[in-house]
Amino acid sequence: MNNSAKLRIAIQKSGRLSEDSLQLIKECGISFKNGIGALKAEATNFPMEFLLLRDDDIPGYVADGVADIGIVGENVLAEKQSHVVIAHKLGFSKCRLSIAVPKNESYEDVRQLEGKRIATSYPKILANFLQSNGVRADIHEISGSVEIAPGIGLADAVCDIVSSGSTLFINGLKEVEPIFYSEAVLIRRPEISEEQTALLNQLLFRIRSVQAARNNKYILLNAPESKVEVIKSLIPGMKSPSILPLAEPGWVSMHSVINENDFWEVIEKLQAEGAQGILVVPIEKMIV
Ligand code: PRT
Ligand code: ZN
């Protein structure tokens, strides 16, 4: 094994992906010293080097081998069509790419876009969508402030990133066709060395543990012994709950893990079954 092997990771220097990308790296236990304005940094406790770039450049740099892996939105990845592979979905920076039209215009279906001028920063994804729907329209590529294009007479519609929808609303537009759903993903170069693959697998293992911990909570409760079986079925946990006797006869303490998604529903059922003193605490890491 080549001990000098390391992974070069490209992350967004400053923008909507940066904070969550850095937080994930930190929760994976990887630290680095980043001088203000520096474009490169070395991890102090993992064979990893950081390149801090504009998000648009990340797929290309990973494809060209300047970086081995990178964190980028699926929207940018699909638009750049670079030769890279998605190694893992990261679940943050969720958004969608949608077509929007002036809000006082009626909109029935996609055929209405025939012959229209659509402003976008995502010409390839849009062209793909229009082609697969048999619609011919004029795509106007612009690099920013797409939402103002209809207001200044530059276009009849836009195709832009939407998150809460408030930017469209403020600009007198309404979302009519979501065409692409996106979240941040970890990408990799298809050809990385055996040593680098081992490092990537180490990183992926840590990322999965961080994600599992975020999605789960540790739960402790007191229950009458007669309810142990039914409560066990409500909080089965990773294998099965731990059960400890309480000093009070006829009662036990049960400990388990509960998923964030069914959290409130399960809590209500537990209360209905007579569980008391329910404590829910965050999990720091969960080895899955
Ligand atoms: O400088 P650099 O090129 O690195 O960054 P950037 O300005 O190109 O990108 P940035 O930081 O704005 O976004 C990075 C990535 O975050 C995008 O590629 C998406 O994958 C993701 N993302 C998530 C978003 C949004 N949410 C988002 N709301 N990207 C952009 N927006 C913008 C959108 O363009 C529109 O102007 O926010 C506005 C819409 O937001 P709402 O909430 O008003 O609907
Ligand atoms: Zn960008």
DSSP 234-260: H---SS--EEEE-SSTTEEEEEEEEEG
Sign for the CA dihedral angle at 268, 273, 274, 278 comes to negative
Summarize the confidence of residues 175-179 as an average pLDDT: 98
Over residues 14-27, the mean pLDDT reads 97
Q: Who's near 103: CB < 8 A, 6+ residues apart?
A: 169, 172, 173, 174
How much distance in Å is there from the Cα of 17 to the middle of ligand 1? Answer: 9
Ligand 2 center–CA 82 separation, angstroms: 15
Give the pLDDT confidence score for residue 3 in this predicted structure. 58
Residue 36: predicted pLDDT: 64
Predicted local distance difference test score (pLDDT) of residue 131 = 98
Give the whole-angstrom CA distance, residue 274 versus residue 269.
Answer: 9
What mean pLDDT do residues 204-225 have? 97
Nearest CA to ligand 1 atom 30: 161
Q: Tell me the three state secondary structure of residue 94.
A: coil
Cα–Cα distances (Å) from 83 to 65, 117, 189, in that order, read: 11, 30, 7
In this predicted structure, the answer to whether residue 34 has a pLDDT above a threshold of 80 is no
Amino acid in the structure at residue 175: E
Mean pLDDT of 18-32: 96
Give the pLDDT mean for 260-287: 95
- Are 221 and 275 contacting, i.e. CB atoms less than 8 angstroms apart? yes
Tell me whether strands 69-73 and 7-12 are parallel, antiparallel or unpaired: parallel
Average confidence (pLDDT) over 256-263: 93
pLDDT of residue 37: 72
Centroid of ligand 2 to alpha carbon of 202 (angstroms):
29
d(CA 220, CA 242): 9
pLDDT at 56: 97
Kindly report the average pLDDT of the chain as a whole number.
Answer: 96
In this prediction the pTM is 0.93
Q: What is the pLDDT of residues 79-128, one digit of tens each?
A: 999 999 999 999 999 999 999 999 999 999 999 999 999 999 999 999 99
How far apart (Å, rounded) are the C-alpha atoms in residues 74 and 107? 28
Q: Is residue 2 predicted with pLDDT exceeding 60?
A: no
